């Protein structure tokens, strides 16, 4: 076991005037890893003409939408995705946020160029049997297909926002977000303007100046999550993926009750709503990969069932954009785009070049994705499986040491409470600081081979030393 505290702070070091801490996060775990995010607080600004003609790259403009640009509720809004990204780009000119996005875009483009160079060289060295080799692997993977299970991914609709709306019905029909400098979620009304989770609040205000920001209430979400999961467990084994979503294996329930998967899921969703007042959406298929994607199809408060046939599985996923697939983030998407792949179907079309690049890309996994394959094992993670615990905090930039010390103590208190509840100890403590220019500094300390960290006092001691 290892303990790792990651304290994220957008920090301005007292000695570096251009930086100041604005977020801290700690993680305690076996393999310490944490992420903290921070954001500036800016006034809403109108779109304006740039004094200097500048044409941003297509990839930079796409990056402006953030990691949650595929969230349910964004389509059918007041603006197109292109209009949203343009507003975000114009409104963030001159900010450290935009400079960070440009740096990230440049780094990713460098990776794409490097990958293209490697491919060009390998194409010259190709032997001509690449297609046959790729097809042989596809045939091997097809042999592993299992259509026997009914796997459901249940995802609560705008979960954090819905919890607040249950507590305060006056929020119904209003545009609001939950979180501090970074939105954890946005109500569907706010999403119509382009606001979404993992978006800095100052950008959300560019899109929706009247958006209301609510503080996080962890106890509220934990209580609602437990209520939903207790209902899901009536329908079969579950494996929570987060507070607001879980996989459920409903195979035995369907067989014992003599109902179809669609009927079973509809029954479960109705029970969740009647008991908690929250709506959930669901995707049903023979595996977790497809169910995850299917759960978004009829959001909010809907369900989508994929028939348990190889043809139906492949037909469902073939035309999906790569970004819709769990496991393909923005960077991987851009790398694959750089090689000519846009949709899942393009994996087969370009299987020869992917075979050539198998040492640089997850070749077999991509072929499995094209076939619509995935795991159908649904098991709760055991306490011993957890490698780390973490806590984080976003705050206004500051270089005041007393303020930073107090922030370390607040985060340590939260982390120590989680660790005590789980009877967990760790060996490594990590402090991760994110400055207001979005540059990250990470420091770690392992006190000794046989020294375990679990108390609030130890976390404060080592955290302050790392700070």
Q: Which of 144-148, 340-344, 368-372, 446-450 has the lowest mean pLDDT?
A: 446-450
Q: What are the chain's domains?
A: 21-33+392-466 (3.30.1490.100), 57-118+176-210 (no CATH), 126-145+311-371 (1.10.150.810), 151-175+211-308 (3.30.70.270)
Cα(60)–Cα(223) distance, integer angstroms: 39
Q: Are 199 and 87 in contact (CB under 8 A)?
A: no
The per-residue pLDDT for 395 is 81
Whole-number Cα distances in Å, 260 to 230, 253, 256, 257: 22, 10, 11, 9
Separation of CA 373 from chain center: 21
By the 10 Å C-beta count (0-12 exposed, 13-18 middle, 19+ buried), 456 is classed as middle
Structure tokens at 443: 């420091």
Look at residue 3 and tell me whether its pLDDT is greater than 50: no
Residue 26: what pLDDT? Answer: 53
Residue 53 tokens read as 């003609």
Supply the pLDDT for residue 67.
72
Lowest mean pLDDT among 3-17, 94-108, 321-335, 426-440: 3-17
> Beta partners for 214?
178
Does position 103 have pLDDT exceeding 60, yes or no?
A: yes
Given a contact cutoff of 8 angstroms between Cβ atoms, the answer to whether 195 and 180 are in contact is no
Identify whether 274 is a catalytic site residue.
no
Helix (H) or strand (E) holding 377: none
Cβ(55)–Cβ(177) under 8 Å?
no
Phi, psi of 357 (to 5 degrees): -100, 20
Dump pLDDT digits (tens) for 169-226. 999 999 999 987 889 899 999 999 999 988 889 999 999 999 999 999 989 999 999 9
Give how far Cα 443 sits from Cα of 25, 238, 261, 318, 431, Å. Answer: 12, 36, 49, 43, 5
pLDDT of residue 145: 98
Catalytic residue among 245, 257, 263, 465: 245
Kindly report the CA angle at 64 between 61 and 66, in degrees rounded to 5?
135
Q: Stretch 397-419: mean pLDDT, rounded?
A: 89
pLDDT recorded at residue 59: 84
End-to-end CA distance of the chain: 23
Average pLDDT of every residue of the chain = 86
pLDDT, tens digit, for every residue of 240-250? 999 999 999 99
CA atoms of 307 and 186, how far apart (whole Å): 32
pLDDT at 46: 41
**Distance of alpha carbon 121 from alpha carbon 359, whole angstroms:** 14
d(C-alpha 25, C-alpha 446), whole Å: 18
Q: What is the pLDDT of residues 150-161, one digit of tens each?
A: 999 999 999 999
Q: What local confidence, expressed as pLDDT, does residue 73 receive? A: 56
Antiparallel, parallel or unpaired: β 151-156 and 440-445:
unpaired
Q: Give residue 68's pLDDT band: very low, low, confident or very high (50, 70, 90).
A: low
**Omega into 300 within 30° of 0, i.e. cis?**
yes
Nearest to 246 by CA among 260, 262, 231: 231
Pick the more confident residue, 423 or 251.
251
Provide the CB-side half-sphere exposure for 34 (13 A, CA).
Answer: 38
CA dihedral sign of residues 221, 222, 227, 231:
positive
pLDDT in tens, 111-145: 999 999 999 999 999 999 999 999 999 999 999 99
pLDDT for position 394: 77
Region 305-329: mean pLDDT is 96
pLDDT score, position 20? 52
pLDDT mean over 71-84: 75
pLDDT at 42 over 90: no
Pure H helices in 17-95: 58-63, 81-91
pLDDT of residue 151: 99
Phi and psi for 51 in degrees, rounded to 5?
-65, -30
CA dist., res. 403 & res. 411, Å (int): 12
Which CA distances in Å does 32 have to 217, 390, 414?
25, 8, 16
240: left (phi over 0), alpha (psi -120 to 50) or beta: beta
The pair phi, psi for residue 28, each rounded to 5°, is -120, 120
Residues 6 or more apart in contact with residue 121 via CB below 8 angstroms: none
Range with the lowest mean pLDDT among 44-53, 98-107, 176-185?
44-53
Of residues 337 and 420, the one with the higher pLDDT is: 337
Residue 34 pLDDT greater than 80, yes or no: no
- Among 48-57, 120-129, 419-428, 435-444, which range has the highest average pLDDT? 120-129
- Going edge to edge, which strands form the sheet with 151-156? 238-242, 245-249, 151-156, 280-285, 303-305
| Half-sphere CA count of 7, side-chain side, radius 13 A | 28
CB 432 within 8 A of CB 34: yes
Residue 326 CA neighbour count, 13 Å, CB half:
16
Contact between 416 and 27 under an 8 Å Cβ cutoff? The reply is no
DSSP string, 388-412: EEEEEEE------HHHHHHHHHHHH
- Confidence at residue 36, expressed as pLDDT on a 0 to 100 scale: 36
The rounded percent of the chain whose pLDDT value lies above 90 is: 63
């Amino acid at each position: 076991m290892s303990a790792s505290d990651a304290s994220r702070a957008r920090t301005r070091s007292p000695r570096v005037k251009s930086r100041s801490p604005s977020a801290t996060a700690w993680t305690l775990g076996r393999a310490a890893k944490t992420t903290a995010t921070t954001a500036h607080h800016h006034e809403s600004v109108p779109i304006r003409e740039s004094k200097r003609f500048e044409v941003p790259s297509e990839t930079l403009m796409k990056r402006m939408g953030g990691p949650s640009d595929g969230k349910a509720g964004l389509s059918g809004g007041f603006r197109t995705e292109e209009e949203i990204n343009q507003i975000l780009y114009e409104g963030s000119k001159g900010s450290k946020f935009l400079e960070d996005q440009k740096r990230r875009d440049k780094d990713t483009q460098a990776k794409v160029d490097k990958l293209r160079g490697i491919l060009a060289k390998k194409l010259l060295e190709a032997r001509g049997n690449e297609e046959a080799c790729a097809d042989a692997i596809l045939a091997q993977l097809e042999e592993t297909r299992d259509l026997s299970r009914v796997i459901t991914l249940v995802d609560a609709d705008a979960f954090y926002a819905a919890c607040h709306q249950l507590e305060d019905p006056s929020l119904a029909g209003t545009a609001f977000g939950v979180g501090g400098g970074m939105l954890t979620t946005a109500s569907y009304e706010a999403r119509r303007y382009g606001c979404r989770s993992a978006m800095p609040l100052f950008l959300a205000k560019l899109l929706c100046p009247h958006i209301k920001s609510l503080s996080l209430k962890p106890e509220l979400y934990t209580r609602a999550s437990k209520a939903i999961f207790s209902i899901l467990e009536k329908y079969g084994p579950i494996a929570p993926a987060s507070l607001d979503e879980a996989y459920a294996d409903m195979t035995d329930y369907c067989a014992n009750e003599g109902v179809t998967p669609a009927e079973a899921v509809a029954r479960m969703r109705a029970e969740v709503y009647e008991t908690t007042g929250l709506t959930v959406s669901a995707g049903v298929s023979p595996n977790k990969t497809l169910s995850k994607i299917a759960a978004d199809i009829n959001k909010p408060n809907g369900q989508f069932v994929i028939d348990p046939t190889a043809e139906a599985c492949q037909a469902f996923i073939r035309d999906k954009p790569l970004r819709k697939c769990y496991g393909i983030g923005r960077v991987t998407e851009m790398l694959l785009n750089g090689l000519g792949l846009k949709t899942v179907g393009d994996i087969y079309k370009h299987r020869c070049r992917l075979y050539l690049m198998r040492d640089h890309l997850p070749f077999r996994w991509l072929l499995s994705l094209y076939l619509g394959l995935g795991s159908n094992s649904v098991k709760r993670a055991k306490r011993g499986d957890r490698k780390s615990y973490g806590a984080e905090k976003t705050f206004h930039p500051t270089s005041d040491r007393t303020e930073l010390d107090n922030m370390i103590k607040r985060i340590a208190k939260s982390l120590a409470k989680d660790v005590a509840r789980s009877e967990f100890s760790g060996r490594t403590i990590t402090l991760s600081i994110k400055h207001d220019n979005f540059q990250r500094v990470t420091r770690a300390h392992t006190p000794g081979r046989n020294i375990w960290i679990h108390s609030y006092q130890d976390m404060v001691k080592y955290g302050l030393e790392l700070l």
